[in-house]
Amino acid sequence: MNLSLKPWNTFGIDRQAQHIVCAENTQQLLTAWQSAMRNQQPVLILGEGSNVLFLEDFSGTVIINRIKGIDIQEEADAWLLHVGAGENWHNLVQLTLEKGLPGLENLALIPGCVGSSPIQNIGAYGVELQRVCNYVDCVELNSGKPLRLSNEACRFGYRDSIFKHEYQNRYAITAVGLRLAKAWQPVLDYGDLTRLDPASVTPQQVFDTVCKMRTSKLPDPKVNGNAGSFFKNPVITAEQASLLLAQFPQAPHYPQQDGSMKLAAGWLIDQCQLKGTTLGGAAVHDLQALVLINTGQATSEDVVRLAHLVRQRVGEKFAIWLEPEVRFIGRAGEVNAVETIA
C-alpha cells in the first residue's frame, strides 16, 4: 500500500511510502519499528518533516513521532522541563514565555518537533540547544531499553550530535530535558537584537524581535514549501578567514571559541546574485538566499539541481563549498547530501 508523504514534509515534495504510522507512545513506536525489521523493511522516524528532502519514494515504514507531554519542575536556581519528543518546538517556546520561564526566546519559530532539536543541535541568533539541554531520553530500537544521555554524552557540535552518527538508526528520541536558569542572560549578538538595550530588555522583547526577523525573511511552509535554512553556515579556519576578509571586508563573520570563523551562508549566496533563481519548480527565496523553496510543483530533482547550482557558484566565487543542513532521504533511508549535490 503506497501512502503520500506530501503532508509529512514541509518541502511539500510528493513522494510515497509503503507504510506510515503515527506513534503516540514509546511502545507504539517500538512495535512499528520492530514490525518493519521483521519484514526487512527500511524505517524512518520523523517529527514534522521540517528538515528532510525525499529524493525518491520510501520503500518501507515512516514512523511519525507524536509522543507528547510537558512536565515542569522548579529548583532554587532553575526550571527543569521534561518534554515529549512529539511536541511542537515553537509552541514550547511560547508556553515557557507565558509561564515566565525565559531562555528559549532566541529559538522562536524554528520549525519541527522537540525530539528533532538535539539531532541538529538547533540554533539561531547566538543560542544553540546545547546551551539549555539537560539530557535526552532515548529508547534502543532493537531491545526497547531506555537510555538517558547527559548534555555531554550527546556530543553536540555545530548542527551536529551523536544522533547523526553512531546513534543514528539505533535509538529513537522519546523526550528532551531542558534546564532554564533563573538568572536570565539575554543573547543579543545578531541582527535587530543588537539594537536592544541589554540592561532593560525583556525575554518577550527578544522573542518578538526574533519572530519579526524570521517572518520578514523566511517563507511560510504552508504557502511555499521549504525546509528552513537549506545550507549550514560554513566554519573556516582563521587563515582562510583573513584571506577572505582581505578581499571581502564587508562579509559577516563570527569568531568561534576554537579560533575558527563562522560565515553567513545566506550572504555568500546573495553575493552570487542567486536570489530568485528558479530551476523547474524550485527557487532560491527572493528575501532570504539561504532558503530554497517549492514554488508549487517542485520535484526533488529540481531542488537537487538548484542546490548544486548554488554550491557551485559559491565555490567558484569564494572557494567555500557549502553543505546542506537538510537531511536527504533515499529509498532506504538517509543518503549523503553533499555527494548528492556535488
Active site residues: 159, 229, 325
Element (H, E) at 215: helix 203-217
What is the DSSP secondary-structure string of 40-101? T--EEEESS-TTEEE-S-EEEEEEEE----EEEEE-SSEEEEEEETTSBHHHHHHHHHHTT-
Cβ neighbourhood burial of 16 (10 Å; 0-12, 13-18, 19+): middle
Nearest Cα to Cα of residue 322 among 246, 242, 234:
234
∠ CA 260-262-265 to the nearest 5 degrees? 150
d(CA 266, CA 229): 9
d(CA 322, CA 144): 38
Q: What residues pair up with 83 in beta bridges, in sequence order?
A: 70, 176
Hey, how many other C-beta atoms are within 10 angstroms of the C-beta on 185? 9
- Dihedral of CA atoms 162, 34, 4, 224 in degrees, nearest 10, equals -20
Cell of 342: 556535488
